[in-house]
Structure 1
Amino acid sequence: MTSLPDAAERTLPRGRSLPVPRRVVLFNVKYSPNLGDGLLSECLERELGRALPGCDVVSVDLAGRRHYPLVHGPARGAVLALLERCPASLRRLLAGAMLHLLLAFRLRAHYRRALRGAEAVVVGGGNLFTDADLNFPVKIWGALGEASRKSVPVAVFAVGVARTWSRPAARLFGGALGRTAIVAASVRDEKSRETWSSHFRGTTAPLPDVVVDPGVLASLHFPVALRRKGSRKIGLCVTDPLAVRYHSTRASAANLEAWYPAALQSLVAHGFEVALFTNGSPEDRGYLYRRFEEWIRRAKGPVTLSRSFDDPAALTTFVSGCDGIIGHRMHACIAAFSFGVPAVGLRWDPKLDSFFDMSGRSAHMLDPARVSGREAGERILAALADPFDPRPLIARAQAQVAGLAASLQTILAERALARR
């Protein structure tokens, strides 16, 4: 990202303070049913607002949503199941056509309204530079097109970048960044940096820095739950095998039907109380509802089903009250780390491995395709016995958000001077 002292000394008279933007728009998927997206969005909103006192920092959901879902219905799961049965080329064609219609008739107006009065735009964080049937390529292309119309400077912050894009996705992402004033860029792991560099080689897109996912700031912005003295509560975050297959590989989900109940039995056998939960995705919740009664009967011990969470605060309160968690979902693990709760990550997507590497907890990744659920009890015991201090990574994330704020202030100062 832009170095504040160098840029400020190059453009500002001595003693002149940097301007604070009146309004900054964050393009993300804050109101996704997967509350991990809301968690990182709220953390970035609040931390950037802290770094820019008096600035109106607002999130604009790329899908046009305006609030957290109140109904956890089955529609998304049905769509995923339908898309999974289609050949990849047909699936991409159908999804792309629907997305372009949605963009034309609803989303462009949504983006345009949100950008009124905005002096800067930030895209991120989250796994936004991915090609899941052109979903993000189309939406980011449309959103940045509106930012370009208004000549608003854009920063990309803490995004995930997928290794494989279709040709239409590459054209959309390339077009989005090519016509936009990208003033700073960062990604959330080294693999994303490598893939960004590969995708945008030979273009004007800046080489990104690697920053910490802003979700690690959860313990600074959400309340912590009180843990019961002497408790041995493990939260098991359940993900629908369909979702794992759709976003990863079939091998990653091949044995989850047997793995989950075996893991529950192992945890109970090791003396733990287990609370089943999800990050909020309706397909995950529906899968859990269909299975939990049988799983609890087979576990023959203290296993409970947590309530649905309405927002990220409810999710983080639950996670912070556990003694340990196990799961695929990245931001359940990130929130746990932030609150000092040991986590065992279930391998399915490189982004989760990257966070465990960055946080020094890679020894506590577990591949369900290779390690039986019967070993879950031993693996969580090992994680609990391996202490860690989240404060250095939290401080690093804070400094990086402050750096983002400084970059936005610097570019606004440079533009103001250029207009004189």
Structure 2
Amino acid sequence: MLKIGLLWHSTTSDNLGVGALTEAQISIINKAAVQAGVEVEYRIFGTNGNKDYFEGNPLIERGTNVSLKRILIGASDYPKKIRECDVVFDIGEGDSFADIYGFSRFLIQIVSKLVVLFQRKPLILSPQTIGPFESRFNLKVANNVMQRCTKIFVRDGLSFGYLQKNNLSVNAEEVIDVAFRLPFQRPSRDSSKVKIGLNVSGLLYNGGYTGKNQFGLSVNYPELTRSLLDQFTRIEGCEVWLVPHVLTTSFPIEDDVNVCVQLQELYPAAKLAPSFSSPSQAKSFISGMDFFLGARMHACIAAFSSGVPVVPLAYSRKFNGLFSALDYPYLGDCKVNTNEQIVGLVMDCFNSREQLKFAVEEGNKIAEKKLLRYEQYIAELLTRISNKKIVL
């Protein structure tokens, strides 16, 4: 049985976006393993939270926490646990292989990858956003690490363009976010009302980790959120749902739930979605919406991949690159547009839901073709590893 290391994944994260990547990645690798005729088990390395999406599954082991301090002083068993893996898939929590979240997060991303390389294990960068790297030093370090990876997959054209510009594209491929394969069950229809889902990012609402518009938004996000609720709660025949996608009490600045509770007090007509226990449960709920908008990218992907017309509210280029790759232009750019422009765009899109629905259907066809290529690569890789024919 092959032991698969999943680096910067999580089966317990309160951030359902990170969880969605993990659930979907395991689903894809399981299918590839069947094609390859091999059996696999998983060891997860990443952040831990208060949930457990795979509780009781004997084939999924929660690995050691990746602690920079413990690695540097030689007190971590992370290197040993990596050495016991046959291959490592690193998804970088989707967008953490960058320096926009601060140097400490960038550094642990680098060190965790170097450990895999030093243990001479195949390191696959799974579909993710690469960069941006604002610091020239960080860019050089990141590029040096990527030159040593067995394969690089990115989920958007902007990231692939970065690889091309830095002569890293020879061993790389552009596919799409693995969360398009996240399993879900569409709920039965219980109302004739038009259901509108609004995902509110607690992180953006609080001004980022610094509390001072860390991501350089051109909009006033709290005011924008309230303006959208003003609009939708006035429309007859509509049911407005506030849908958190990061549910954490450990990091209040990131928590979507607390912000949604505050907003519900201001807009009693709006309903609060249940507390989801897993990414699949969240996607199943979102799939029951008739229209969706949000600033958590994986909440938007949950809508898109389940066929729901959606307007993503972008705060970084990960949104722009991914939805552009799906030929989907219905996106509000919170780093470029004004509050008024985004509200106007959202309402135009709401009134053109059938047009958006068609674009979503076409985009999902593109996504499926891209992920089939990723799945096929994994099947071939697992075959080579099981036959001991991989050369580092």
Q: TM-score range by the shorter chain?
A: 0.7 to 0.9
Task: Choose the corresponding residue for 1:291, options 244, 262, 266.
Answer: 262
Higher relative contact order (CA 8 A, sep 6+): 1
Contact 1:25–1:120 at 8 Å: present in 2 too?
yes
Deviation for aligned residue 1:121: 1.2
Aligned Cα root-mean-square deviation (Å):
3.3
Scaled by the length of structure 1, the TM-score of the pair is 0.74
**For residue 84 of structure 1, what is the aligned residue in structure 2?**
none
SS at match of 1:151: coil
Q: 1:367 to 1:154 in 2, by over 3 A?
A: closer
**For residue 156 of structure 1, what is the aligned residue in structure 2?**
125
Deviation for aligned residue 1:171: 5.3
Contact 1:60–1:111 at 8 Å: present in 2 too?
no
Separation of aligned partners in 2, 1:38 and 1:107 = 28
Q: 1:117 to 1:413 in 2, by over 3 A?
A: same
Contact 1:43–1:217 at 8 Å: present in 2 too?
yes
From the two aligned structures, give the one with the greater helix fraction: 1
Q: Which moved more, 1:385-394 or 1:317-326?
A: 385-394
Separation of aligned partners in 2, 1:106 and 1:355 = 39
- Is 1:215 matched with 2:179? yes
Aligned length: 359
- Is 1:266 matched with 2:231? yes
Scaled by the length of structure 2, the TM-score of the pair is 0.79
**For residue 39 of structure 2, what is the aligned residue in structure 1?**
55
SS at match of 1:127: coil
**For residue 33 of structure 1, what is the aligned residue in structure 2?**
14
**For residue 239 of structure 1, what is the aligned residue in structure 2?**
201
Separation of aligned partners in 2, 1:326 and 1:305 = 15
Contact 2:289–2:308 at 8 Å: present in 1 too?
yes
Q: 1:259 to 1:60 in 2, by over 3 A?
A: same
**For residue 393 of structure 1, what is the aligned residue in structure 2?**
366
**For residue 325 of structure 1, what is the aligned residue in structure 2?**
292
Separation of aligned partners in 2, 1:345 and 1:207 = 31
Which runs of 5 or more structure 1 residues have no equivalent in the other structure? 1-20, 71-97
SS at match of 1:273: strand
Separation of aligned partners in 1, 2:240 and 2:228 = 10
Task: Choose the corresponding residue for 1:46, options 15, 19, 27.
Answer: 27
> Counterparts of 1:165-314 in structure 2 under 5 Å?
165-167=134-136, 169-170=138-139, 172-174=141-143, 176-177=145-146, 180=148, 182-198=149-165, 200-201=166-167, 206-218=170-182, 221-240=183-202, 241=204, 245=208, 251-252=216-217, 254-271=219-236, 272-282=238-248, 283-285=254-256, 287-289=258-260, 291-297=262-268, 302-314=269-281
Separation of aligned partners in 2, 1:222 and 1:257 = 31
- Is 1:352 matched with 2:319? yes
Q: 1:286 to 1:304 in 2, by over 3 A?
A: closer
Separation of aligned partners in 2, 1:159 and 1:291 = 33
Task: Choose the corresponding residue for 1:68, options 37, 51, 70.
Answer: 51
Which runs of 5 or more structure 2 residues have no equivalent in the other structure? 54-65, 249-253
Contact 1:62–1:140 at 8 Å: present in 2 too?
no
Whichever of the two has the greater Rg, that structure is 1
Task: Choose the corresponding residue for 2:77, options 96, 105, 109.
Answer: 109
Deviation for aligned residue 1:142: 2.8
Q: 1:310 to 1:36 in 2, by over 3 A?
A: same
Amino acid in structure 1 at the alignment position of 2:262? R
